[in-house]
Amino acid sequence: MKMTLTQLRQIYHQPFFELVEAARRVYRQHWSEDEVQLCELLSIKTGGCSEDCAYCAQSARYATGVGAEPLKDLPTVLAAAQEAKARGATRFCMGAAWRGVREGTAQFDAVLEMCRQVSRLGLEVCVTLGLLSAEAARQLKAAGVTAYNHNLDTSPEFYPRIVTTHRFEDRLATIRNAQAAGLAICCGGIIGMGESEEDRLRMLEVLTSLEPPPESVPINCLIPIPGTPLADQPPVDVFELIRLIATTRIALPRAKVRLSAGRTQLSREAQAWCFYAGANSIFFGNKLLTAANPARDDDLELFAELGLRPQPARCDPVRPTASRGTHFND
Ligand code: SAM
Ligand code: DTB
Ligand code: SF4
């Protein structure tokens, strides 16, 4: 449901414990409280991107040490997806360092084939390929894609400070194209790029205005990449992160809120607070696209400590359970 900036401010700026308690209540109404979805991420096309996103290791404009690689081949991607499934992941996310999709190219056809085959493994398929036309979105849907990840990343006002090679409006158009094709939307942002708390709430305001609302919301903490303009950004205040997660949980009760990039910089206690405040999904595996992520064993140990379980596969991977405990494989 669309929320106004005023409403979001009121939620976000409550006393900390009241905010977290309110988020926890909302969470328990909609979700099985001890489950966290494991998503595995694979960069299927790394580096050499034309865009100038100031945070990104994969932009060709910055000397980050990440070189341009060709599109990975089908057997490599399929093997990674099979391993992800064997490790308990229920979603496999494939990312390409492209400005956007060019329909009708051999590369896009190869990605469509990857999607078909990964979806046959019984995994939720998520792709993040940049800007998307309505036709390309339809082709992804027909290939079995569950969700399209396309982050707004920040507020419309702050966006031009971070990216100049495409517009915030272009990103909204891609989201509309994906939704028109029936794809679920995975859409969130990055904090710690120099934006204000107000910018983060503005981003959330836009997210709540999407129809239907996003199926999942990744909250990334900036990983400062040497060589990019944001290399020297200080880390985000952990209470600001927890507040944003709690506010997102309240504003978008049915969305999976994914504690995404930057977990290597968070203590176990900070992550526990994030889960308590309503985060219920993570990227699982030692590597994100190019940057490090916590080791799987460390995550499983933390889950055991907190009594969290990896979320099992569901009948309908897009929607949360209407009531608790209706699992596909129960
Ligand atoms: N090229 C596509 C696009 O821009 O949508 C897909 C790949 S892009 C790397 C996916 C998302 O990863 C970005 O929108 C951003 O939210 C996140 N991301 C990239 N680099 C990051 C960093 N250094 N720290 C935190 N999040 C990052
Ligand atoms: C998202 O919101 N975060 C993931 C996924 N969607 C594609 C990517 C994080 C990238 C972190 C930096 C890197 O690995 O280069
Ligand atoms: Fe990185 Fe995507 Fe921006 Fe390219 S479009 S520089 S891959 S975030």
Render pLDDT for 43-83 as a digit per residue (tens, 0 to 9).
999 999 999 999 999 999 999 999 999 999 999 999 999 99
pLDDT at 326 over 50: no
Determine the distance separating the centroid of ligand 1 and the alpha carbon of 225, expressed in angstroms.
12
Q: Which ligand is nearest to the CA of 53?
A: 3
Distances (CA, A) of 316 to 59, 139, 170, 281, 323: 36, 21, 30, 16, 13
**Would you state the pLDDT for residue 174?**
98
Q: Which atom of ligand 2 is nearest to the CA of 260?
A: 3
Q: Which ligand is nearest to the CA of 225?
A: 1
Alpha-carbon distance of 61 to 141, in angstroms, equals 32
* Atom 9 in ligand 2: residue holding the nearest Cα: 261
Alpha-carbon distance of 83 to 284, in angstroms, equals 12
* Atom 3 in ligand 3: residue holding the nearest Cα: 53
Decide: 280 and 36 in contact? Cβ < 8 Å.
yes
Decide: 274 and 227 in contact? Cβ < 8 Å.
no
Determine the distance separating the centroid of ligand 2 and the alpha carbon of 266, expressed in angstroms.
16
Task: Please list the alpha-helical segments (H only) found in 181-236.
Answer: 197-208
Local structure of residue 123 (DSSP, 8 states) = -
Q: What is the pTM of this model?
A: 0.94
Q: Which atom of ligand 1 is nearest to the CA of 218?
A: 16
**Would you state the pLDDT for residue 33?**
76
Would you please indicate which residues are annotated as catalytic (active-site) residues?
49, 53, 56, 93, 126, 186, 258
* Atom 5 in ligand 1: residue holding the nearest Cα: 130
Local structure of residue 145 (DSSP, 8 states) = -
Q: What percentage of the chain has pLDDT greater than the value 70?
A: 95
Q: Pick from 291, 302, 304, 233: which is nearest to 260 by CA? A: 291
pLDDT at 321 over 50: no
pLDDT band at 325 (very low <50, low <70, confident <90, very high): very low
Determine the distance separating the centroid of ligand 3 and the alpha carbon of 281, expressed in angstroms.
23
Question: Looking at residues 308-319, what average pLDDT do you find?
Answer: 70
Residue 76: which residues within 8 A CB-CB, separation 6 or more?
none
Alpha-carbon distance of 164 to 158, in angstroms, equals 11
Q: Among 59, 131, 260, say which to mutate for ligand 3: greatest number of ligand atoms within 8 Å of CB.
A: 59
| Residue 26 in contact with ligand 1 by CB distance below 6 A | no
Residue 319: count of CB within 10 angstroms of its CB: 11
Question: Looking at residues 219-246, what average pLDDT do you find?
Answer: 98
Q: Which fold has domain 5-310?
A: TIM Barrel (3.20.20)
Determine the distance separating the centroid of ligand 2 and the alpha carbon of 86, expressed in angstroms.
22
The residue assigned the tokens 């308690």 is: 21
pLDDT at 327 over 90: no
Determine the distance separating the centroid of ligand 2 and the alpha carbon of 323, expressed in angstroms.
31
| Residue 43 in contact with ligand 2 by CB distance below 6 A | no
Determine the distance separating the centroid of ligand 3 and the alpha carbon of 303, expressed in angstroms.
32
Helix 268-276 and helix 16-30: axis angle, to 10°? 60
| Residue 57 in contact with ligand 2 by CB distance below 6 A | yes
pLDDT at 320 over 70: no
- Which residues sit with their C-beta closer than 6 Å to ligand 3? 49, 51, 53, 56, 58-59, 97, 99, 130
Alpha-carbon distance of 152 to 176, in angstroms, equals 12
